[in-house]
Chains A and B, each alone.
Chain A
């Protein structure tokens, strides 16, 4: 079946640290891959996406590369800020299906 596995949280970093949140997936065919973010008190919102192998999604300094050979879509940021504190969800859309399959979420806290 289709599934997404995310790095266990919570993750706590200092401001300006390098961030990696690991995400691996299981899917048949060629899914689309996403990172969604939920800031405190807000609804989930799309952070970035990649729809085919080797694509790189980027937004707000975050990047993730669709790696089919390792079935991964790790989220990275070179220098995090306090405002990046949120819960991050990795997700996939199976090829030909009309739904998103989410990982369990990773809570990120950035300390000043």
Chain B
């Protein structure tokens, strides 16, 4: 597609349920990032994938959070047993190889609301 696509755009769930968020990066972009943005706060790094290398998971806030990416395609971010503090916008970004000094292209995000 023309840009980074994220789905769903909005997700409302009950506390304790699992959710899965999806990101389709731009074709040819080997680097993929997940960020979280809580209301009124900056973007918080969660995880980084680069090709077939081991992902950088240093930003995942707890073991309830996990992410997968198959090759250089779709990535899914899974949050198990959701809590109210997980409510945020989850942003995905992709870029060409070269790390963050390359231009990152962001999706429009998934707004997650945990009731």
B91: contacting residue among A44, A97, A99, CB under 8 A: A44
- Using CB atoms and an 8 Å cutoff, list the residues of chain B in contact with chain A: 3-4, 31, 33, 35, 40-45, 48, 50, 56, 59, 91, 93, 99-101, 103-109
**Which B residues lie within 8 Å of A73 (CB)?**
none
| CB–CB B106/A98 < 8 A | no
Query: Are B50 and A98 in contact, CB atoms less than 8 angstroms apart?
Result: yes
**B33 contacts across to A, CB distance below 8 A:** 99-100
Cα A46 to Cα B42 in complex, Å, equals 16
Evaluate contact between B48 and A43: CB separation under 8 angstroms: no
Contact call A43/B100, Cβ cutoff below 8 A:
no
Question: Main SS of the interface on chain A?
Answer: strand
Q: A43-B106, A98-B31, A104-B41 are in contact. List 9 more A-B contacts (CB 8 A).
A: A4-B42, A44-B91, A44-B106, A46-B103, A46-B104, A98-B100, A99-B48, A100-B43, A104-B40
A105, B103: Cα distance in complex, Å: 18
Complex contact B101–A102 (CB within 8 A): no
Interface residues of A in 13-71 (CB under 8 A from B): 32, 34, 36, 42-46, 49, 51
User: 13 pairs across A/B with beta carbons < 8 Å?
Assistant: A6-B42, A36-B104, A43-B106, A43-B107, A44-B91, A46-B104, A91-B43, A93-B100, A97-B99, A97-B100, A99-B100, A102-B42, A104-B40
| Chain A residues at the B interface, C-beta cutoff of 8 Å | 4, 6, 32, 34, 36, 42-46, 49, 51, 89, 91, 93, 97-105
The CA-CA distance from A42 to B91 in the complex, in Å, is: 12
**Cβ contact of B4, chosen from A43, A98, A100, A103, cutoff 8 A:** A43
